[in-house]
Amino acid sequence: MESSGDLVEIRAFVAQHNPSKSRIFALVQNSEHSSGFLTLEAVATVSDPSRADELCAALNQYIYDRDEAQGFAPRLRAALDGEPESINAAMHQILDRIKRSGAVHRDHLVKTISPFGSFPLSACPPAGCAACGECADSCKDCVVCDEFDPDLECECSVYMPPRTASLIHAMAETYCDTVHDLAEAIPSGIPLKPHDDLWPIPEAAWWQSRDFYRKFARAFEDIARDIENGQEPDPHNMAEEIALHLVLDAAAGIVADEMPELELFTGGMPRSHFDFDFDLLHDVLYQDKDYEVAYLGNLSIAKPGDLEEWFEDFQTPAPRDPERGFRR
Ligand SMILES: [Zn+2]
Ligand SMILES: [Zn+2]
């Protein structure tokens, strides 16, 4: 029954592993069941767990972004390299079905399954890039990508591959909790003198009210939610810029020191040549760096109420929903 395929929409791909093999499932939704009835449908079986994860991540990227999916074709090709023809055929069948089904919104369900699957490993063009050649394996081990030569235009770089997104997300969540904990320990009235050490909050903000710290905690939360929505962090005000700065520094420290958190938060995710370029992230994620001189370099402690500028929304992007509340 060919036509019944149109009623069933693919929402996401998940991998299930057991000691002898890994299976890739499509999570499908039957549009006749408006309640959101979901079932698993087996797509393919592969022997290598990391390959199954990578295939799922690539397919999830394709579901979200379709033709916009940067570097998708070479990424899929690399993931299928050396696999039997039957898996190749199964993948192309499933791609045809994705193309036929309606657009998928990044709904909550998809986010919970694979919050980082929609971030690209590279932007390698489908036919390879003029500098790198064939862009083997999404340029994962490419030496040309590292060469700085203005005449050699490499088109492959991305700034937020899945492992980078995952690590930044994890640190944003961690700091969100830390700052909420600090806020809870502070009395609700106007403080008479600066608090004791409030690390990781910048020293300039060590004399504010509990309400201030709750709002600052939410700045970390908003950054984490951006990433869960498959988007790069998009600071809406100075508080979010400062929060993102602290998160990028924490993530960079974990990578530089090869701390156990690195494996904890990124293990099992597909590697990218462009992972962990924090300098580049500082360049692309900020409109300006005014906050840095004003509040990170300056160690004088502001008086209570003097930092409301932190929470004034920029002209763009459009403000976040004021009713979004606090996660805790
Ligand atoms: Zn490339
Ligand atoms: Zn390359």
Residue 145 alpha carbon to ligand 2 centre in Å: 4
CA distances from 165 to 60, 158, 204, 217 (A): 15, 11, 28, 19
- State residue 212's pLDDT score: 97
Residue 200 alpha carbon to ligand 1 centre in Å: 38
Distance CA 116, CA 275 (A): 13
Distance CA 51, CA 59 (A): 12
Q: Are strands 22-30 and 8-17 parallel, antiparallel or unpaired?
A: antiparallel
* Cβ contact 236:119 at 8 Å: no
Distance CA 80, CA 19 (A): 21
Q: Is residue 327 part of a domain?
A: no
Distance CA 117, CA 63 (A): 10
Residue 78 alpha carbon to ligand 1 centre in Å: 12
Residues 148 and 176 in one domain: no
155 CB neighbour count, 10 Å cutoff: 17
Residue 241 alpha carbon to ligand 2 centre in Å: 31
Q: Is the preceding peptide bond at 200 cis, omega within 30 degrees of 0?
A: yes
Closest CA to 125 of 103, 92, 158, 86: 158
- State residue 218's pLDDT score: 97
Give the number of whichever ligand sits closest to the CA of residue 75: 1
Give the number of whichever ligand sits closest to the CA of residue 145: 2
- State residue 32's pLDDT score: 62
Q: Is residue 192 part of a domain?
A: yes
Ranges of the chain with pLDDT below 50: 1-5, 34-36, 108-112
Helices (H), ranges, 66-161: 72-80, 85-100, 108-113
Residues 62 and 136 in one domain: no
Distance CA 251, CA 35 (A): 40
Burial class (CB in 10 A: 0-12, 13-18, 19+), 85: exposed
List the strands of the sheet with 8-17, edge to edge.
8-17, 22-30, 38-46
- State residue 230's pLDDT score: 78
pTM of the model as a whole: 0.75
Residue 18 alpha carbon to ligand 1 centre in Å: 33
Q: Is residue 257 part of a domain?
A: yes
Q: Is residue 323 part of a domain?
A: no
Residues 142 and 184 in one domain: no
Residues in Cβ contact with 92 at an 8 Å cutoff, skipping those fewer than 6 apart: none
Residues 290 and 188 in one domain: yes
- State residue 33's pLDDT score: 56
Residues 191 and 306 in one domain: yes
- Identify residue 34 by its one-letter amino acid code: S
Residues 246 and 208 in one domain: yes
Phi, psi (degrees; rounded to nearest 5) at 163: -65, -35
* Cβ contact 70:272 at 8 Å: no
Residues 78 and 219 in one domain: no
* Cβ contact 245:223 at 8 Å: no
Residue 75 alpha carbon to ligand 1 centre in Å: 10
* Cβ contact 231:225 at 8 Å: no
Residues 146 and 210 in one domain: no
Q: Is residue 137 part of a domain?
A: yes
* Domain termination site, one of 105, 139, 158: 158
Question: Domain tally for the chain?
Answer: 3
* Cβ contact 106:229 at 8 Å: yes
Residue 197 alpha carbon to ligand 1 centre in Å: 46
Residues 89 and 48 in one domain: yes
The domain in which residue 62 lies consists of: 2-113
* Cβ contact 145:132 at 8 Å: yes
* Domain termination site, one of 131, 158, 185: 158
Burial class (CB in 10 A: 0-12, 13-18, 19+), 59: buried
Distance CA 247, CA 255 (A): 12
- State residue 109's pLDDT score: 46
Q: Is residue 215 part of a domain?
A: yes
Radius of gyration of the chain from Cα atoms? 22
Dihedral (Cα; 107, 283, 74, 27), 10-degree rounding: -10
Distance CA 119, CA 31 (A): 27
- State residue 5's pLDDT score: 43
- State residue 74's pLDDT score: 85
Q: Is residue 34 part of a domain?
A: yes
Residue 149 alpha carbon to ligand 1 centre in Å: 15
* Cβ contact 120:71 at 8 Å: yes
- State residue 264's pLDDT score: 81
Residues 306 and 193 in one domain: yes
Residues 208 and 224 in one domain: yes
Give the number of whichever ligand sits closest to the CA of residue 137: 1
Residues 175 and 291 in one domain: yes
Q: Is residue 67 part of a domain?
A: yes
